[in-house]
Amino acid sequence: MALLFTVLLAVSAGILFYSLVDFGKQDFLGATEAAIDTEIRMISSLKTSQTESVVPYIEQRTKDDQIVRFRYESENGKLIAGTIDPMPQKVDKIAEGILRFDLDTKRGQETFAAKIHTFQDGSRIVVARNIHEIIANYERLKQLSWLIMSLMSAVVLASFGISHFVVSRINRIAATAQNIVETGDLSQRLAIDSRWDDLSNLAEVLNGFLTKIEDLMNGVREISNNIAHDLRTPLSGLRSDIESMKGRAVSNGDVDRLLAEADRILAIFHALLRITNIEKGKRSQSMRDVDLGKILGDVVDLYEPVAEEKGMKININAVSNAKIRGDSDLLFQLFTNLIDNAIKFSPEGSIIRLHTSKSRECITVAIEDQGPGVPDEEKEKVFKHFYRGDASRSTPGNGLGLSLVRAVAEHHQAHISLENADPGLRVRVTFQPYQ
C-alpha cells in the first residue's frame, strides 16, 4: 500500500516535470523558428520579384523591430545590407538549421537565434531574432521546474516514510486486535511508540476502551461468581431443610420456613435485577422534579419507630425547596437503605443525624451515625455486589443494599462518599439541584 502510494506520487511528479520542460522548449523554439521562417519567406518573395526592394525592406524591418536583425551578403560573403556585421566568431547550433550567437545590443550582449537561407544566385540572408527574454524565461521555468521537482521528491520521500510508518502501525494495531479476538485475552494493549501523532492518540483511546471493557468483564465475572457463591449457601440450606422433612409429617411451620427461605433467595434475584435495570438507566422516563425534603421526611417517618425500638433518635435538619430531578421511588429506596444501615450498625441509644445543605452548585444530604464506621480500605468495596464488611457479617442482609444505593445515586448523577464522623460513619450524597 505504502509503496503503491509513493510510486503513484513519483510518477505524477515525473510527468509534471517532463511536461514543464518540454512545453518550455517547444514554445521557445517553435515560435522563434516560425517568425524567422516568415521573414525568410518574405525576403525570398521580394527577391524573386524585384532585387532592389530587398535592401530597403531589410533596412525598414531593422528600424521597426529591435528584436529582429539581418545580414544579407553576397556569394563571396560581402555584406549587402543588415546590421549583423561581422558575423560573430562563436556560433552554436541549437537545433537542426537553427544557430545561436551573441550580438551587441543597447543592453549589452544578448543571445539571438538565427537561420541562414541561401538564394539561387548564391547570396545569403541571415535572419536573427533576439531570444534573450525567452531564454531568461525558459531558464526561470527550468529553475522553477527543478524547485517543484525537488519539492515533489521531498513529498514523495516523506509520504513514503509516513505511509510506511502509518501502515505498519495500523497493521500492528490490527494484529493486536486480531490476537485479542482470537485469544479473548483482554489484558493485551496496543503499543504506543510516540505521543505526538494521531495514531498514538487512537491507540491510546483504544487502550482506554480495552481497559474499560476489561473492567466491565471482570466486574461481570466477579458478580456472576459472587451470585453463584452467594446463592449456593441459601439454596443448600433450603435443600437440607427439605431433605430433613423426608419421611416425617410436615407441619405448617415447616412450610412457612421453607417459603421464607425461598423468598429470601427470590429477593436476592429481585434486588440484582433491580440494580441491573437501574444501572441500565431504563427508568429515565420516570424522572421528574421531586422535593428531597419531602422524601427525607417520609423516610424518617417510616424509620423513626424502628429507631425508637432501639432507643435511638433520628435528628433531621432539612432545607426548604431542595428540588432535584429524580425518581422519588428510587430516592426513597436510597435513603431507606442508608437509614436502615445506620440503625442496624449503631449502638443502642445513639443518635442518627440527617443533615441537608444547599448551595448554588449542589444539594448535599449527609447521614451520620455513631456506629463502628467503615475502615478506609473498605470504603470502595462496600458498594460492590454481595460485599459484606466484617462488621456486617452477623447482621441480616444480602450485601446488595449499598450496591443499590450506588446504582440509584449514579442514575441521578449524584456523588456518594463515605467519611469518618469520629465516631461513626458519615454518608454524603451530593445532588445537582434542579433549575
Partner 1 sequence: MKLLIIEDDSKIRAYVEKGLNEAGHTVDLAEDGEKGLHLASTEKYDALIVDRMLPKLDGLSIIKTLRGTGNLTGVLILSSLGDVDDRVTGLRSGGDDYLVKPFAFIELLARVEALGKRATSPSSVQSTILKAGNLEMDLLARKVRRGGKIIELQAREFRLLEYLLKFKGQLVTRTMLLEGVWDYHFDPQTSVIDVHISRLRKKLGDSNNTLIKTVRGAGYIIEDSF
Chain contacts with partner 1 (rule: CB under 8 A): 256, 259-260, 263, 266-267, 270-271, 273-274, 277, 282-283, 285-286, 298, 301-303, 305-306, 309, 327-329, 332-333, 336-337, 340, 344, 396-397, 401
Which residue, 84 or 318, has its beta carbon nearer to partner 1? 318
Copy the grid coordinates of residue 339: 437509614
Which residue, 10 or 306, has its beta carbon nearer to partner 1? 306
**Using an 8 Å Cβ cutoff, are 43 and 174 in contact?**
no
Which residue, 183 or 277, has its beta carbon nearer to partner 1? 277
Rounded to an integer, what distance in angstroms lies between the CA atom of residue 231 and that of residue 262? Answer: 11
Q: CA 280, 286, 291 angle in degrees (round to 5)?
A: 120
Q: Evaluate the CA torsion angle 152, 155, 161, 162 in order and state its sign.
A: negative
Contacts of 82 (CB under 8 A, 6+ apart): 58, 62, 69, 70, 71, 72, 73, 126
CB of 184 to partner 1, least distance (A): 33
Rounded to an integer, what distance in angstroms lies between the CA atom of residue 65 and that of residue 59? Answer: 10
CB of 313 to partner 1, least distance (A): 15
DSSP code, position 33: H
CB of 333 to partner 1, least distance (A): 4
Backbone angles phi, psi at 364, to 5 degrees: -115, 135
CB of 256 to partner 1, least distance (A): 5
Copy the grid coordinates of residue 134: 525567452
CB of 344 to partner 1, least distance (A): 8
Which residue, 136 or 267, has its beta carbon nearer to partner 1? 267
Which residue, 14 or 389, has its beta carbon nearer to partner 1? 389
**Using an 8 Å Cβ cutoff, are 69 and 112 in contact?**
yes
CB of 389 to partner 1, least distance (A): 16
Which residue, 126 or 300, has its beta carbon nearer to partner 1? 300
Which residue, 210 or 275, has its beta carbon nearer to partner 1? 275
Which residue, 32 or 333, has its beta carbon nearer to partner 1? 333
CB of 397 to partner 1, least distance (A): 7
Q: From residue 10, how far is each of 14, 17, 145, 414 by CA, in Å?
A: 6, 11, 15, 60
**Using an 8 Å Cβ cutoff, are 429 and 408 in contact?**
no
CB of 340 to partner 1, least distance (A): 4
Helix (H) or strand (E) holding 313: strand 313-317
Rounded to an integer, what distance in angstroms lies between the CA atom of residue 327 and that of residue 263? Answer: 27
CB of 429 to partner 1, least distance (A): 16
Alpha-helical regions (H) of 65-197:
132-183
Compute how many other C-beta atoms are within 10 angstroms of the C-beta atom of residue 16: 14
Which residue, 94 or 306, has its beta carbon nearer to partner 1? 306
CB of 297 to partner 1, least distance (A): 11
Copy the grid coordinates of residue 379: 470504603
CB of 9 to partner 1, least distance (A): 59
**Using an 8 Å Cβ cutoff, are 156 and 9 in contact?**
yes
**Using an 8 Å Cβ cutoff, are 398 and 336 in contact?**
no
Rounding to the nearest 10 degrees, give the CA dihedral for residues 99, 101, 105, 108. 150
Q: Among all chains, which residue has been given the C-alpha cell 454481595?
A: 386
Copy the grid coordinates of residue 40: 525568410
Which residue, 283 or 313, has its beta carbon nearer to partner 1? 283
Which residue, 128 or 299, has its beta carbon nearer to partner 1? 299
Give the per-residue SS3 of 84-104: CCCCCCCCEEEECCEEEEEEE
